[in-house]
Amino acid sequence: MINQNMGNINSKDINQNTFDAIVIGSGISGGWAAKELCEKGLKTLVLERGRNVQHLVDYPTMAKDPWDFPHRNHLTLKMKEDNPVVSKCYAFREDAMQFFVKDKEHPYIQEKPFDWIRGYQVGGKSLIWARQTQRWSKYDFEGPARDGFAVDWPIGYDDIAPWYSHVEKFVGISGNKDGLDTLPDGEFLPPWEMNVVEKSVQKRIMDNYKDRNVIIGRCAHLTQPKEIHLQQNRGKCQARNLCQRGCPFGGYFSSNSSTLPWAAKTGNLTMRPDSIVHSVIYDEKKNKATGVRVIDAHTKKVTEYFAKIIFVNAAALNSNLILLNSISTRFPNGLGNDNGLLGKYIAFQNYRGTLSANRDGFLDSYYYGRRPCAVMMPNFRNVHKQETDFLRGYMVFFSAYRSGGYAGGEQMGEAFKEAASQPGGWGVSMMMQGETIPKESNYVALSNDKKDDWGMPLLTISVDYDDNDEKSLKDFLNQGAEMLDKAGCKNITTNDSKQAPGLDIHEVGGVRMGKDPKTSLLNKWNQLHACPNVFVTDGACMTSTGTQNPSITFMALTARAANYAVEQLKKGNLS
């Protein structure tokens, strides 16, 4: 089908379909590529496989109250049975299910259990992300080289620090300047507050553990918008915590509320939803990529688009899929895949461990509003040297809250109703976000025989935990219980969710950056070593995972690579 159509393109089509840059994907990194490239004057085509979602216009549930949902924001049995994978996701509920891929729409092959959570629409998962944003530290970049796993990162903290600043200023990140080398400060808007129990836990932990820090979470919410945010027509976060529906105030950052409209304002953006990228076109004579083949999601018609540079931002695993499917004589195993490592060294983050506990007292205090972040503890394991029987470490998140007040006594009647209408005592819940070690045996590949409705090979995913993850989990549960105990909590319970990889929605790798083309796919500017006018700047590029929420790093890497690409184009190096 593809080859038949190729012959039909005439020079007029080519002209109409030619841009300076093509960006594949409109999620959190694709949006940044679009913004940077358009601002620098490049005519940029953004291809999005899903439907259009326009800021405000396409947020049908954003103003709904709990009673507006027939099932009070719970899933129906049918929705759960039809969607065993995505229905495990905490945010896939009645209010936001329109922004998630349903299991049957886009099948994939799980060689090992992997919950692949996807958002196929303009804005991608930036609409529904958890919005937590922490910079990597130098220790994270130095990890693989120090501990002898994966490959050495080709960049360090100093390379990316200015680009963190660049994106943070525009995105709007709330946070406290804590002065920690394990979690460098950024360009912060005012931080969110801790409640009284969180402050108490913070004090007790920091008194008991000299090497551990407890800080308020840093997140992509406008606690006090600046001029640059007002120019984006975004306003102050209203502490609704209904973010996954799309925000009527633009209070949190998404491609839809921020980068895409900003890119459109330049007049240089062409946005094309419903456009499934089949492959990147490689010109064997010119020795470079010249464009992409696109399948129309509705008509299935194939069209080719051309550009000098191509940014691949289809989300980590789908970027792998597109490159693996980009076959040419020069690259029979996928674009840029001279070393056979494309699709390998996939990693994710370990979310299995959680704890909960009660905290007596503090009954004269409550809170107002719904804060969109938690309290966190930057990784304190193996930071300066190897200290435990497992590699790397984990970030700890916790929050305290008052839950229902109807524990005992009469279970019906006036007094019961009265008690149930009041807050009960304080609870504390804690979770881990653990670094996992990228391994060659954790990989994605194209199915040999199974294809989707558009003729694209299905992605086979083979990713699992290992012994290191089990040890790290055990350590977190032990340390978490000990810390909660020292913080004066009672009824401490630990839980291993045993959830499959993927549900963390922090999958990365497969097209990793590195210094050596023999052991990596991308150079320090996110260019394919073997095809430098193709840039991969989403999660696929990650050499290792760190313990941080990853998106702000994808954004910084994207802005950095896009600006480098523009410089190189100006110098004539990529044309």
Q: Select the span of 34-42, 47-55, 142-150, 410-418 touching another protein (CB under 8 A).
A: 410-418
Question: Toward another protein, which CB reaches closer, 180 or 363?
Answer: 363
Note the Cα 342 to chain centre separation in Å: 20
Q: Are 381 and 388 in contact (CB under 8 A)?
A: yes
Is residue 75 close enough to count as binding another protein by CB under 8 A?
yes
Residues near another protein (CB under 8 A), total: 48
Using CB under 8 A, which of 41, 60, 361, 405 touches another protein? 405
Is residue 71 close enough to count as binding another protein by CB under 8 A?
yes
Q: In sequence order, what are the residues at sequence separation of 6 or more whose Cβ sits closer than 8 angstroms to the Cβ of residue 406?
A: 416, 419, 420, 424
Contact flags string 310-349 toward another protein, x per CB under 8 A? ----------------------------------------
Is residue 404 close enough to count as binding another protein by CB under 8 A?
yes
Q: Select the span of 30-38, 67-75, 95-103, 258-266 touching another protein (CB under 8 A).
A: 67-75
Q: Is 122 exposed, middle or buried (0-12, 13-18, 19+ CB in 10 A)?
A: buried
Is residue 285 close enough to count as binding another protein by CB under 8 A?
no
Overall size of the chain counted in residues: 575
Using CB under 8 A, which of 158, 227, 414, 467 touches another protein? 414
* C-alpha span between 431 and 477 (Å, rounded): 9
Contact flags string 226-255 toward another protein, x per CB under 8 A? ------------xxx-x-------------
Nearest alpha-carbon partner for 364 in 191, 194, 195: 195
Residue 22, CB half-sphere, CA atoms under 13 Å: how many? 28
Residue 265, CB half-sphere, CA atoms under 13 Å: how many? 12
Q: Are 503 and 113 in contact (CB under 8 A)?
A: no
The residues facing 221 across adjacent strands are 252
Is residue 572 close enough to count as binding another protein by CB under 8 A?
no
Q: Select the span of 107-115, 341-349, 367-375, 538-546 touching another protein (CB under 8 A).
A: 367-375
The residues facing 431 across adjacent strands are 354, 397
* C-alpha span between 388 and 220 (Å, rounded): 33
User: Closest separation between CB of residue 402 and another protein, Å?
Assistant: 7
Question: Toward another protein, which CB reaches closer, 177 or 417?
Answer: 417
Q: In sequence order, what are the residues at sequence separation of 6 or more whose Cβ sits closer than 8 angstroms to the Cβ of residue 496?
A: 352, 353, 473, 477
Q: In sequence order, what are the residues at sequence separation of 6 or more whose Cβ sits closer than 8 angstroms to the Cβ of residue 76?
A: none
Using CB under 8 A, which of 10, 413, 448, 467 touches another protein? 413
The residues facing 551 across adjacent strands are none
Is residue 56 close enough to count as binding another protein by CB under 8 A?
no
Question: Toward another protein, which CB reaches closer, 179 or 404?
Answer: 404
**Residue 509 three-state SS:** strand
Question: Toward another protein, which CB reaches closer, 359 or 529?
Answer: 359
Is residue 409 close enough to count as binding another protein by CB under 8 A?
no
User: Closest separation between CB of residue 94 and another protein, Å?
Assistant: 10
User: Closest separation between CB of residue 374 and another protein, Å?
Assistant: 12
Nearest alpha-carbon partner for 32 in 171, 207, 235, 145: 171
Residues that bind another protein (CB under 8 A): 63, 65-67, 70-78, 192-196, 198-199, 238-240, 242, 363-371, 402, 404-406, 411-414, 416-418, 420-423
